[in-house]
Amino acid sequence: MPRLIIDEREIEVPPGTKVIDAAERLGILIPRFCYHEGLGAVGACRMCAVQFVEGPVKGLQMSCMVDAQDGMVVSTSHEEAVEFRRFIIECLMLNHPHDCPVCDEGGQCLLQDETVSGGHGLRRYQGKKRTYRDQYLGELIAHEMNRCIHCYRCSRFYQEFSGYRDLGPLQIANRVFYGRFKDGPLESPFSGNLVDICPTGVYTDKPSRYKARRWDLQRTPSVCIHCSLGCNTVANARYREVVRVEARFSGEVNGHFICDRGRFGFPYTNLPGRPRTARTAGGECSQGEAVAAAAEKLREISSTFGPQAVACFGSSRNSLETQCMLKRICRLQGWQVPGFFVDPALERRVRAAVSLLDASAGVSMREVERADCVVAAGVDPVNEAPMLALAMRQAFRRGAEILVADPRPIFLPFPFIHVPVSMERMDSFLEGLARLAGESSDGTGVREADLLSQIVQNGGLASSDLPLPVSFCRALFGSQNPVVLCGTECVRESTLPAAAALARDLRKGRDRAGLLYVLPGANAFGAGLLNSQGHPGFSRLLESVESGSVRALIVTESDPLNDFCHRDRLLGTLGKLDLLVVMDFLDSETARMAHVFLPTTTHFESGSCFVNHEGRLQYAEAVHHGGIPIEQAGGGSHPPRVYRGDIPGEGPKAAWVILAELGRTLGIPDRDLLGLGPWSLIGEEIPSLKRLEGTVFPPEGIRILSDGDPVQWVQGPEARDGEDDRGAVPPGDFFEILLTHWTFGTEELSSRSGPLQKVEKEPYGMMHSDDARVLGFSEGDRIVLSLEGGQIRFRLSVADRMGRGVLVLPRHRKLAWRNIPEMPCFVPRDRIRREDS
Partner 1 sequence: MLSDALKETLRGKIAQGEHPREHAVDVMLEIQKRCGYMSDEAMEEAATLLGMSPLELEELATFYDHIYREPVGKYVIRVCDSAVCWMHGHLSVVDHLTSLLGIGMGETTPDGLFTVLPVCCLGYCDRAPAMMINQRIFGQLTPEKIDRVIRRLREEASFDEAE
Tell me how crowded residue 160 is: count the other CB atoms within 10 A of its CB.
14
Q: Report in angstroms how near the CB of residue 165 gets to partner 1 at its nearest.
A: 4
Is 46 a binding residue for partner 1 by CB under 8 A? The answer is no
Angle among Cα 115, 121, 125 to the nearest 5 degrees reads: 95
Stretch that binds partner 1, among 180-188, 233-241, 264-272, 797-805 (CB under 8 A): 180-188
- Give the residue with the Cβ less far from partner 1, 170 or 728: 170
Residue 176 or 285: the one with the smaller Cβ distance to partner 1 is 176
Stretch that binds partner 1, among 171-179, 436-444, 589-597, 614-622 (CB under 8 A): 171-179
Q: Minimal distance in Å, beta carbon 160 to partner 1?
A: 13
> Closest distance between partner 1 and the C-beta of residue 95, in Å?
18
Looking at the Cβ atoms of 178 and 268, the one nearer to partner 1 is 178
Segment interacting with partner 1 (CB under 8 A) among 161-169, 565-573, 606-614, 680-688? 161-169
Which of these ranges, 33-41, 177-185, 344-352, 728-736, lies near partner 1 under the rule CB under 8 A? 177-185
- Distance from C-alpha of 661 to C-alpha of 248, rounded to nearest angstrom: 35
Question: Amino acid identity, residue 763?
Answer: P
- Of 165 and 691, CB closest to partner 1: 165
Query: Which lies closer to partner 1 via its Cβ, residue 172 or residue 449?
Result: 172
The smaller minimum CB distance to partner 1, of residues 166 and 289, is found at: 166
Which H/E stretch holds residue 19?
helix 19-25
CA-based nearest residue to 586, from 749, 781, 385, 393: 749
Here's the x/- map for partner 1, 716-745, by CB under 8 A: it reads as: ------------------------------
Q: Which of 53, 91, 170, 711 binds partner 1 (CB under 8 A)?
A: 170
Q: Determine which helix (DSSP H) or strand (DSSP E) holds 353, and give its type and residue range.
A: helix 344-356
Within 10 angstroms of residue 649's Cβ, the number of other Cβ atoms is 17
Query: Could you say which of 182, 638, 644, 671 contacts partner 1 (CB under 8 A)?
Result: 182
Q: Which amino acid is at 806?
A: V
Contact 806, 723 (CB under 8 A): no
Q: Does 172 bind partner 1 (CB under 8 A)?
A: yes
Long-range contacts of 770-778, Cβ-Cβ distance < 8 Å, separation of 24 or more: 770/804, 771/735, 771/804, 771/805, 772/796, 772/798, 775/829, 775/832, 776/834, 777/834
Give the other-Cβ count within 10 Å of 356's Cβ.
24
Regarding 107 and contact with partner 1 (CB under 8 A), the answer is: no
With contacts defined by CB under 8 A, how many residues of the chain interact with partner 1? Answer: 12
Q: How far is the CB of 96 from partner 1 (least distance, A)?
A: 22
Q: Which is nearer to partner 1, 167 or 498 (CB)?
A: 167
Nearer Cβ to partner 1 (168/648): 168
Q: Which is nearer to partner 1, 174 or 547 (CB)?
A: 174
Q: Which of 44, 21, 18 is nearest to 33 (CA)?
A: 44
CB of 191 to partner 1, least distance (A): 14
Taking the complex as a whole, the smallest distance from the CB of residue 415 to partner 1 amounts, in Å, to 12
Q: Which is nearer to partner 1, 178 or 777 (CB)?
A: 178
Q: Which of 340, 336, 337 is nearest to 317 (CA)?
A: 340
Would you say 528 and 351 are in contact if contact means Cβ atoms under 8 Å apart? yes
- Report the residue number, 186 or 772, with the smaller CB distance to partner 1: 186
Least distance between partner 1 and beta carbon 272 (Å) = 39
CA-only gyration radius of the chain, Å: 28
131 in contact with partner 1 (CB under 8 A): no
3-state secondary structure of 547: helix
User: CB of residue 586 vs partner 1: minimum separation in angstroms?
Assistant: 39
Distance (Å, whole) CA 461 – CA 403: 15
Any contact of residue 134 with partner 1 (CB under 8 A)? no
User: Can residue 167 be called a binding residue for partner 1 (CB under 8 A)?
Assistant: yes
Q: 138: alpha, beta or left, given left = phi > 0 and alpha = psi -120 to 50?
A: left
655 and 555 Cβ atoms separated by less than 8 Å: no
Q: Among 110-118, 165-173, 344-352, 711-719, which window interacts with partner 1 (CB under 8 A)?
A: 165-173
Q: Which stretch binds partner 1 (CB under 8 A): 164-172, 499-507, 591-599, 693-701?
A: 164-172
With CA atoms as reference, report the closest residue to 617 among 696, 548, 674: 696
Is residue 168 involved in binding partner 1 (CB under 8 A)?
yes
Instruction: Compute φ and ψ for 94, nearest 5 degrees.
Output: -50, -50
* Using rule CB under 8 A, residue 774 touches partner 1: no
Query: How far apart, in whole angstroms, are the C-alpha atoms of residue 750 and residue 266?
Result: 6
Q: Does 169 help bind partner 1 (rule: CB under 8 A)?
A: yes
As measured in angstroms, the least distance from the Cβ of 61 to partner 1 is: 28
Residues in CB range of 159: below 8 A, 6 or more apart = 165, 167, 168
CA distance to 192, 205, 224, 536, per residue, from 139 (Å): 11, 9, 21, 45
Instruction: Give the sign of the dihedral formed by CA 416, CA 422, CA 424, CA 425.
Output: negative
Phi (first) and psi of residue 731, to 5 degrees: -65, 150
CB of 167 to partner 1, least distance (A): 7
Beta carbon of residue 181, minimum distance to partner 1 (angstroms, whole number): 4
- Comparing CB distances to partner 1, the nearer of 112 and 159 is 159
Residue 180 interacting with partner 1 (CB under 8 A): yes
Distance of CA 529 to the CA centre of its chain: 19
Find all residues with CB under 8 Å of 112, minimum gap 6, and list them. 100, 105, 106
Nearest CB to partner 1, comparing residues 99 and 411:
411
CB atoms within 10 A of CB 106: 16
Figure out which of the listed residues 67, 139, 160, 166 binds partner 1, where binding follows CB under 8 A: 166
Sequence-distant (6+) residues with CB within 8 A of 152 are: 34, 42, 44, 169
Instruction: Output the smallest distance, CB 88 to partner 1, in A.
Output: 24
Choices 74-82, 159-167, 277-285, 696-704; region in contact with partner 1 by CB under 8 A: 159-167
Identify the helix (H) or strand (E) that includes residue 505: helix 495-507
Smallest gap from Cβ 184 to partner 1, in A, equals 10
Q: Quick check: helix, strand or coil at residue 647?
A: coil
Pure H helices in 518-607: 524-529, 538-547, 560-563, 567-576, 589-593
* Span interacting with partner 1, options 98-106, 170-178, 378-386, 507-515, rule CB under 8 A: 170-178
Q: With binding defined as CB under 8 A, does residue 412 bind partner 1?
A: no
Tell me the β-bridge partners of 554.
312, 581
**Residue of 171, 463, 712, 791 that binds partner 1 (CB under 8 A):** 171
| From 9, 123, 165, 331, residue interacting with partner 1 (rule: CB under 8 A) | 165
Angle between helices 320-333 and 677-685 (to 10 degrees): 60
Query: Which C-beta is closer to partner 1: that of 413 or that of 560?
Result: 413
The rounded distance, in Å, linking the Cα atoms of 144 and 128 is 18
CB of 178 to partner 1, least distance (A): 10
The nearer residue to partner 1, 178 or 604, going by C-beta atoms, is 178
Out of 181, 216, 640, 761, the only residue in the binding site for partner 1 (CB under 8 A) is: 181
Q: Which DSSP symbol is given to 36?
A: B
Cβ atoms of 385 and 373 closer than 8 Å: no
Comparison of 162 and 315: residue with beta carbon closer to partner 1: 162
Strand partners, 142: 204
**Which of these segments, 160-168, 411-419, 518-526, 774-782, binds partner 1 (CB under 8 A)?**
160-168
Q: Which is nearer to partner 1, 169 or 648 (CB)?
A: 169
324, 686 contact by CB (below 8 A): yes
User: Given the complex with partner 1, which of 148 and 617 has the nearer CB atom?
Assistant: 148
Give me the residues that bind partner 1 (CB under 8 A), please. 165-172, 177, 180-182
